[in-house]
Amino acid sequence: MAIRFSIDEISKSNRHTLGRDIDVAVFRLIRFMDLEKYLGRGAHGVIYECGRELGQSLNPKNIDDLIKFCEEYKIGKIEVVNKNPIQIRVYECISCSGLPEVGETLCWFEGGFIAGCLEKILNKKVRAKETHCAGLGDDFCQFEITTL
C-alpha cells in the first residue's frame, strides 16, 4: 500500500539548519531516474498520471491558484499565452530549465500536474501536450491543452 501524505504533512520539515530548500540537481536526479527499467515503456505516462493526481488533489479554483502554487513551490513561472486553445508556458521549469537538448520533451510530471489542475478548474477531462521544452532546445516549456 502506498504511503500517502497531505500537502501540509509533506511540507513540514524539521531541517533546522539546512532549511526547506534542496538543490535542483537532487530533484532532477530523482525525477530522471531510469524508471523505464522498472516500469517499462509506459513510465512517462505513469509520471504524467502522478502529476495529474497531485494537480487534482490541490483542488485549485482558478488559474491564479495554479500560478501561485507553482511559484510558492518553485515548480516554475506559469503564464497563460493563449486561451483557445489553452496554451500554458512554464519559465524556469524545475525539471528541464537549463538541461541540454535531447530531442524530446521531458516534463511529463508538469504536464500531468497542469492537466489535473485544469480538470478541477474547468470541470472537464483534459490532456496537456508539451510542445516546447529545454529537451527540444527551447528556453521555456509550453503545453497545449485539449479537452477530451
- Binding residues for Zn ion (CB under 5 A): 96, 107, 133, 141
Nearer to Zn ion, 31 or 63 (CB): 31
Nearer to Zn ion, 123 or 141 (CB): 141
Give just the sign of the alpha carbon dihedral 2, 67, 72, 137: positive
Integer Cα distance of 89 and 76 in angstroms: 9
Least distance CB 75 / Zn ion (angstroms): 11
Nearer to Zn ion, 114 or 126 (CB): 114
Q: Please spell the DSSP secondary structure of 71-108, one letter per residue.
A: HHTTS-EEEEEEETTEEEEEES-TTTTTPPP-SS---H
Integer Cα distance of 140 and 28 in angstroms: 17
Nearer to Zn ion, 133 or 145 (CB): 133
Least distance CB 143 / Zn ion (angstroms): 9
Would you tell me the crossing angle of helices 63-72 and 108-122 to the nearest 10 degrees?
150
Least distance CB 79 / Zn ion (angstroms): 14
Nearer to Zn ion, 32 or 62 (CB): 32
Least distance CB 5 / Zn ion (angstroms): 26
Strand order in the sheet with 77-83: 77-83, 86-91, 141-147, 126-132
Q: Which residue sits closest to Zn ion, CB atoms considered?
A: 133
Least distance CB 59 / Zn ion (angstroms): 25
